[in-house]
């Protein structure tokens, strides 16, 4: 099986096949064998139902799906934690005076304008 490209089902099947966790079954054979047999097989390993050699569906056990969902949540949390840690390392917090200095703006003018606005100024810059 080649590279799955951007199709999510193909990608999922590709990774599972690499891990040796799947069984491919033509949909016509699965239909003849019945749902009970398909469910029993799915308890042992993931089943990829195929039509003319192309994957069309995946049958899996509830326990494995729950475990996959748990792993995905943990992975998403780890990615988010990592991104937040990187952002925190890159972020620099500045007080107003330092921000004004860095921007080349007069701190006195900013404070005066803030005072004017807080006293009901019209909001239009001068």
In the chain, how many domains are there?
A: 2
- For residues 56 and 80, membership in a common domain is answered with no
Q: Decide if 36 contacts 59 (C-beta within 8 A).
A: no
- The phi and psi torsions of 11 (rounded to 5 degrees) equal -65, -45
In a domain, 77, yes or no: yes
Tokens 């006293």 sit on residue: 119
- The residue segments making up the domain with residue 99 are 65-118
Q: Is residue 35 pLDDT above 60, yes or no?
A: yes
CA distance 94 to 44: 57
Question: How does pLDDT run across 71-119, given as a tens digit for each residue?
Answer: 889 888 888 988 888 877 777 778 899 999 989 999 999 999 998 888 8
- The phi and psi torsions of 109 (rounded to 5 degrees) equal -65, -40
- Mean pLDDT, residues 9-32: 73
pLDDT score, position 1: 47
- For residues 87 and 46, membership in a common domain is answered with no
């Amino acid at each position: 099986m080649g590279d799955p490209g951007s199709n999510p089902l193909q990608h999922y099947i590709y990774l599972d096949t690499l891990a040796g966790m799947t069984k491919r079954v033509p949909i016509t054979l699965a239909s003849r064998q019945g749902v009970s047999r398909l469910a029993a097989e799915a308890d042992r390993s993931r089943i990829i139902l195929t039509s003319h050699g192309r994957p069309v569906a995946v049958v899996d056990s509830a326990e494995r799906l729950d475990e996959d969902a748990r792993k995905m949540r943990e992975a998403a949390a780890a990615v988010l934690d990592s991104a937040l840690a990187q952002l925190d390392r890159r972020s620099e917090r500045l007080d107003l005076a330092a921000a004004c200095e860095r921007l080349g703006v007069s701190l006195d003018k900013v404070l005066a304008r803030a005072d004017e606005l807080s006293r009901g100024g019209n909001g239009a810059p001068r």
